[in-house]
Chains A and B, each alone.
Chain A
Amino acid sequence: MFFCTRLSYVSKQTVYLDYAATAPMRPEALTAMTTELATVGNASSLHASGRRARRVVEESREAIAAVLNVQPRDVVFTSGGTEADNLAIKGIYAMRQLKDPHRRRILTSPIEHHAVLDPIESLAESAGAEIQYLFADNVGRVDLDWLKTELERDSEQVALVSVMWANNEVGTIQRVAEIAELCAEFTIPFHCDAVQAVGQLPVDASLVDALALSGHKVGGPIGVGALVLRPGVNPVPLLHGGGQERDVRSGTLDTPAIAGLAAAIVAANGDMAERATRVRTLRDDLVERVTATIDDVKRNGDPDETLPGVANLSFEGCEGDALLLLLDAAGIECSRGSACTAGVPQPSHVLLAMGIDPQTARSSLRFSLGMDSTQADVDRVVEVLPDIVARARRAGTPRSSMGS
């Protein structure tokens, strides 16, 4: 029994199933990045070292643009997905406000990542924005009729629409093309947080007006990302300074990280179909065997239209953090799938928005598989999980564990 022998703090055989939190660096990215880290050059400098760095940045930009079906000039490098989302939302809102101060409404879904929800909420607090949450159904898909109705109601007052490509907690893929079409019909800018989709699914960024991506979710480095902008969409900058990235985003370009990001995106694009098939097979095997061997397990999210590696499961009668502790002790790393507020785990806002009750939401875990996941990883989870769930169920919930 794993637990009876030893709590393995630093497991010799860690089973890493938290790719949606961060994915291991791809070797291609590591090589590209380390090469650049050892080389001097500010991409804005005019001398040879600067030109060399600039060439790396521009070739990276071109490579990413080609994968995403946009022009290189459309790609704006940022410090990550969060900055890209903030720049899109705050910058486009400000851009729209400058042209027409009546455009205050922001339409978004309640299942967005906090990097989208929080800048919108901050605009509501400080810049007069009115938030309109779209309805997400019980698998986490945004209701298009609802969006249409909201747009028809008074499209004159809508500043922007922000809906993610694929959900980070449950994996559900949105109907991005249809949302884009609706927004185009009303000429409303559509921002799409594609942090979880890029590298996992074919992403055509030319469909949308703004698209955020992150390096470390695709096997690139942490601390770099990009915002892809349709020509004519000129967000008001958040960061002012040296005027890099055509004045939309100042700051010395991080050549090593950008090189790593491009290498990862290109590599991920190259093996996407094969990897998706393999990862999906493993994920489906995990879900099938876990639900077959453990009672009262429920899968959250759309079973079909979903990211290949994500499985969000609720284990009725447990606390997710008890499961995490015991899985961690067994060397299995996954996640509650929700951000921590003030260090205290909260029930996932995504699951709650899908109509799942708070207790079930608290009992949920996200397993996310990726490139290096193996059948042995899945077998290990299936082997230890029944005992872990039994223990966690005995531990109950803090609210119900009271004797008297």
Chain B
Amino acid sequence: MKVVAALSGGVDSAVAAARAVDAGHEVVAVHLALSRSPAANRVGSRGCCTIEDSHDARRVADVLGIPFYIWDLSELFETEVIDDFVSEYALGRTPNPCLRCNEKIKFTAVLDRSVAMGFDAVCTGHYARIVDGPNGRELHRAVDPGKDQSYVLAVLNEEQLSRAMFPLGDTHKADIRTEAANRGLLVADKPDSHDICFVPDGDTAGWLHNRLGDAPGDIIDATTGELVGQHEGAYAFTVGQRRGVGLGRPAADGARRYVVEVDTATSTVMIGPPTLLHIDHISGDRARWCGPALTESTQALVQVRAHGEAVPARIEVDGDVVTALLDESLRGVAAGQAMVIYDDTRVIGSSTISRATRR
């Protein structure tokens, strides 16, 4: 096959590309320039798309003996991922930009472009497995539970999966580093990237404040209705968060206070004891199916965070709307997060959470 390997400059995509070459594919490396103003160097594990990263990616391609190009997708990334991230937060929701990037950038813009140019597939260093199942191609969890990235890929449909290649899903991360070193790839020891790539210092609240400005409002205790403080922008708060709720003294009931609700329309942040965070009824929209769509009530597993635990639930589907009735309650589920539905290791699909309540 003719394959575009997305090379970030990190160790995972490097080994993924190397494996694609080994498998006999004709591989062309593409580094995606996603930042309008890339920093010169990566600082520790923060950020990505630095000039150093593109240099590292180029050197990987040299070692693998494959052509290397940089595709400038920064404008699209800005409108599809960053703007969406900001507007979601402005609505009091907590989006996952990695899912959005996989859906809109890597497996739409890059994939479409590659296919139009005559390529058959896009290869990335994501930890997930694609398996040929009885009903077509299936997306499964990686064998390394600590690195599994099937959650952020749960927006890919069957067509996209049929043109995706994830060569790392069957290997543990530690072995990938060893393999990279054995292959002579200089990125073997490069730190993993964490956090949100376009918030290089990791200060999401500060970054949002720069974009959204002051939107002061009240912090109210949900149990008593009491005004307990002020904030500078409700968008800086996420359901389940404890930091920054500004409680100078213990609550009357002695329980710790968490953000339990964010209402950006009134700029109100509601806080409450952890019991108020327990939810067992999640509804979402924007259903995405990684294979045949669910049509009837199904017992499955749902996961609501990239590195969260999957919990059993009954799933009901009505068109684009997905409802999960959890067997046991979960704590702190924010609107905007993705709810990913699994059948054991197989990803059935995902939905963007719109409401999480207690039955």
Q: Say yes or no: is A267 at the interface (Cβ < 8 Å to chain B).
A: no
A403 touches B108 (CB 8 A): yes
B117 touches A322 (CB 8 A): yes
Instruction: Quote the shortest CB–CB distance from A71 to chain B (angstroms).
Output: 44
Q: Evaluate whether A7 and B116 lie within 8 angstroms (CB atoms) in the complex, with A321-B69, A344-B70, A344-B72 already known.
A: no
Q: Evaluate whether A391 and B118 lie within 8 angstroms (CB atoms) in the complex, with A7-B2, A344-B33 already known.
A: yes
- Can you list 13 A-B pairs with a CB-CB distance of less than 8 A? A7-B26, A9-B66, A328-B67, A344-B33, A344-B38, A391-B116, A391-B118, A395-B112, A396-B116, A398-B71, A398-B109, A399-B76, A401-B112
Those of A33-88 within 8 Å (CB) of chain B: none
Those of B24-45 within 8 Å (CB) of chain A: 26, 28, 31, 33, 37-38
9 tightest A-B contacts by CB?
A: A394-B116, A395-B116, A344-B33, A395-B113, A343-B54, A7-B26, A395-B117, A344-B72, A391-B117
B116 touches A325 (CB 8 A): no
Q: Say yes or no: is B201 at the interface (Cβ < 8 Å to chain A).
A: no
Residues of B within 8 A of A321 (CB): 69-72
Q: Say yes or no: is A345 at the interface (Cβ < 8 Å to chain B).
A: yes
Roughly how many angstroms separate A394 CA and B28 CA in the complex, as a whole number?
19
Q: Chain A interface (Cβ within 8 Å of chain B)?
A: 3-4, 6-7, 9, 321-322, 324-326, 328-329, 340, 342-345, 391-392, 394-396, 398-399, 401-403
Q: Say yes or no: is B232 at the interface (Cβ < 8 Å to chain A).
A: no
Residues of A within 8 A of B69 (CB): 321, 324-325
- Partner of A325 from B51, B67, B73 at Cβ < 8 Å: B67
A3 touches B118 (CB 8 A): yes
Most chain B CB atoms below 10 A, which of A4, A395, A403: A395
Roughly how many angstroms separate A344 CA and B55 CA in the complex, as a whole number?
12
A9 touches B116 (CB 8 A): no
- Partner of B117 from A9, A325, A344, A399 at Cβ < 8 Å: A325
Instruction: Quote the shortest CB–CB distance from A345 to chain B (angstroms).
Output: 6
B51-95 vs A: 1/0 string, CB under 8 Å? 100110000000001110111111110001000000000000000
Residues of A within 8 A of B38 (CB): 342-344
B28 touches A329 (CB 8 A): yes
B76 touches A398 (CB 8 A): yes
B28 touches A7 (CB 8 A): yes
- Partner of B113 from A7, A324, A343, A401 at Cβ < 8 Å: A401
B72 touches A398 (CB 8 A): yes
B109 touches A401 (CB 8 A): yes
Roughly how many angstroms separate A322 CA and B118 CA in the complex, as a whole number?
11
Q: Say yes or no: is B104 at the interface (Cβ < 8 Å to chain A).
A: yes
- Partner of B76 from A343, A392, A402 at Cβ < 8 Å: A402
Instruction: Quote the shortest CB–CB distance from B44 to chain A (angstroms).
Output: 21
B70 touches A345 (CB 8 A): yes
Roughly how many angstroms separate A326 CA and B71 CA in the complex, as a whole number?
13
Roughly how many angstroms separate A401 CA and B108 CA in the complex, as a whole number?
8
Roughly how many angstroms separate A396 CA and B108 CA in the complex, as a whole number?
13
Roughly how many angstroms separate A386 CA and B328 CA in the complex, as a whole number?
61
Roughly how many angstroms separate A281 CA and B80 CA in the complex, as a whole number?
47
Most chain A CB atoms below 10 A, which of B55, B108, B117: B117
Closest to B4 in A: A325
A325 touches B75 (CB 8 A): no
Roughly how many angstroms separate A328 CA and B80 CA in the complex, as a whole number?
30
A402 touches B117 (CB 8 A): no
Roughly how many angstroms separate A396 CA and B70 CA in the complex, as a whole number?
16
A402 touches B73 (CB 8 A): no
Instruction: Quote the shortest CB–CB distance from B160 to chain A (angstroms).
Output: 10
Those of B112-169 within 8 Å (CB) of chain A: 112-114, 116-118
Residues of A within 8 A of B28 (CB): 7, 325, 329
Instruction: Quote the shortest CB–CB distance from A162 to chain B (angstroms).
Output: 28
Roughly how many angstroms separate A4 CA and B116 CA in the complex, as a whole number?
13
Instruction: Quote the shortest CB–CB distance from A396 to chain B (angstroms).
Output: 7
Roughly how many angstroms separate A240 CA and B253 CA in the complex, as a whole number?
76
Residues of B within 8 A of A325 (CB): 28, 67, 69, 117
Instruction: Quote the shortest CB–CB distance from B51 to chain A (angstroms).
Output: 6
Residues of B within 8 A of A345 (CB): 70, 72
Instruction: Quote the shortest CB–CB distance from B84 to chain A (angstroms).
Output: 13
Roughly how many angstroms separate A9 CA and B73 CA in the complex, as a whole number?
24
Closest to A346 in B: B72
Closest to B80 in A: A402
Residues of B within 8 A of A344 (CB): 33, 38, 70, 72, 74
Instruction: Quote the shortest CB–CB distance from B6 to chain A (angstroms).
Output: 14
Residues of A within 8 A of B65 (CB): 9
A342 touches B80 (CB 8 A): no
Residues of A within 8 A of B73 (CB): 398
Instruction: Quote the shortest CB–CB distance from A252 to chain B (angstroms).
Output: 31
Residues of B within 8 A of A402 (CB): 76, 80, 104, 108-109
Roughly how many angstroms separate A6 CA and B65 CA in the complex, as a whole number?
15
Roughly how many angstroms separate A111 CA and B1 CA in the complex, as a whole number?
43
Closest to B38 in A: A342
Instruction: Quote the shortest CB–CB distance from A104 to chain B (angstroms).
Output: 30
Residues of A within 8 A of B109 (CB): 398, 401-402
Instruction: Quote the shortest CB–CB distance from A182 to chain B (angstroms).
Output: 40
